[in-house]
Chains A and B, each alone.
Chain A
């Protein structure tokens, strides 16, 4: 197995999952509690990566990161190189690609928090921010764990977006799924199998954690 590709993928997934917590919580909060009429549009945009072919998403991300876009130019001015075909570019692409896998479980668990608890918190003088951190978030732990685990696992296994945005540069953008693809192309079935098996096991373990935590948290809470 290609150790370098493996660690690069782990690094990518951890980074993406972390950023998605910071980014996903406010987005999920807005979706869960906003009364705006166009909320459904935001929901649709967030959910897009679920149904969009990764190549389509990857293509637009590539265009957006390229030196013809404002973002790409700004990045180039700041760092001296383009975002496309870099690890940073990969991170941005992966964040967009995995956004719904974080936001949807977050929002779903926020919606489940009893509105009267939020009202009670307000009557006791707590600001919205305090209510969020003291009441909503602690009661959304299962959704939080699910969102983090799913976005981690999803990033681990992505292929299309990575190939479009990052290409296949060893040590920079070459993730395990691309490594598997390469090995199959080279008819190295044994090597491909080895790497694929590791990915399979990781995915299984992550999902087991998600379902296990959800069950255990639910069962251990007396008020459920």
Chain B
């Protein structure tokens, strides 16, 4: 018996036996602009985040893996199965790739019940086996009681669970998730992720999770790849990649709400710090020491959530930067409160609802902002 699937030697390293290896190049157009997606990496079982702004090529990458789009050149291999090989002219059809794909809008079949949706991919299995499998997966995603409902009749979180169950019930060898949780609240999201992790412990396959949301990167990933304009610009642990960005565009991408040009005014080598003045202001900040010369310009990024806010002048703090200012506006955004403060420059501070209520902040109030030295992230100004 012959099989159409091309085989390569099984890697000796057992961790690579189920790995997904990609080396592809694909030109694509997004919003009228031409991009080239050119990436190469190997993903071992577990969750890997692919992080990037919209238009960076994330969905195109997933479509290439799933077979919905054909790369211009390269190779896609799962374990010892070649899905795509430009040189060897292998290009398995979508149907034969055994890749689970949860789409951004989930793409549940609106006319089928939850159970029929989940059983959709089990057409080749006997009816009894089909029932057994779908029941087991519905149980493990806690949606067994929704079997007879239609996707239009259940909540967003439940629909998310159905989409995961539908993709996973077929025992795929890779799971692709395209910003699947974008519309969910944090609590719902974390419960679903827990269940997905539990499933992944029992079924060791690579899971590719793409997102443009910084919080999700920290909540989920063992490993994160950062995609920008079709290229991979960083690869590492969430903390390693997200806490010390080297490029301005990446910093903006991952949500530094406060980014300022600053001039180095003093280098305190023995303390391991330096003093910088924010351009066109009197605000001085003590920052970690980087290789820079006095008088040179850098970029300082400070996350709005890293700034403390006090309504009386604080004393006896370890934090080196205490900046006085006045509240410009207080706006609630979902469960965070965005406070804009004028302290010579405008800074954005994020508070919890409880903090806002206890501080009773109003525009015009005098406040002090407290910024730790190591909350000031320095980047080279481009």
Contact = CB atoms under 8 A, between A and B. Distances in A.
A3 interface: no
B109 interface: yes
A130 B123 contact: yes
A121 B109 CA distance: 9
B68 interface: yes
B95 A120 contact: no
B45 interface: no
Residue of A119, A123, A223 with most chain B CB atoms under a 10 A cut-off:
A123
A220 to B, nearest CB: 11
B121 A124 contact: yes
B305 to A, nearest CB: 34
A222 interface: yes
Contacts of A223: 110, 150-152
A138 interface: yes
Interface residues of A, number: 20
Contact of A124 (B67, B152, B166): B166
Interface stretch (B7-15, B96-104, B190-198, B340-348): B96-104
Contacts of B97: 123
A117 B117 CA distance: 11
Given A116-B107, A135-B109, A125 B123 contact: yes
A127 interface: yes
A222 B152 contact: yes
Interface residues of B, number: 30
Contacts of B124: 125
A127 B120 contact: no
Contacts of A221: 110-111, 152
A205 interface: no
A81 interface: no
A135 B108 CA distance: 10
A115 B98 CA distance: 20
B287 interface: no
A125 B123 CA distance: 8
Chain A interface main SS type? helix
Contact of B107 (A117, A126, A222): A117
B105 interface: yes
A202 interface: no
A1 interface: no
B120 A126 contact: yes
A120 B167 CA distance: 9
Nearest to A114: B107
A126 B110 contact: no
B125 to A, nearest CB: 11
A39 interface: no
Nearest to B94: A122
A222 B105 CA distance: 16
Contacts of B170: 124-125
A122 B68 contact: yes
A134 interface: yes
Contact of A119 (B93, B100, B107): B107
A124 B68 CA distance: 12
Interface in B83-101: 93-101
Given A124-B170, A125-B170, A117 B95 contact: no
10 contacts: A116-B105, A122-B67, A122-B68, A123-B94, A124-B170, A126-B95, A127-B95, A138-B111, A222-B110, A222-B150
Please name the 10 residue pairs, one residue from A and one from B, whose CB atoms are nearest each other, closest first. A222-B152, A124-B121, A223-B110, A120-B107, A122-B94, A116-B107, A223-B152, A123-B101, A138-B111, A125-B95
Interface of A: 114, 116-117, 119-127, 130, 134-135, 138-139, 221-223
Given A116-B103, A119-B94, A125-B170, 4 more contacts: A122-B68, A122-B94, A124-B170, A222-B152
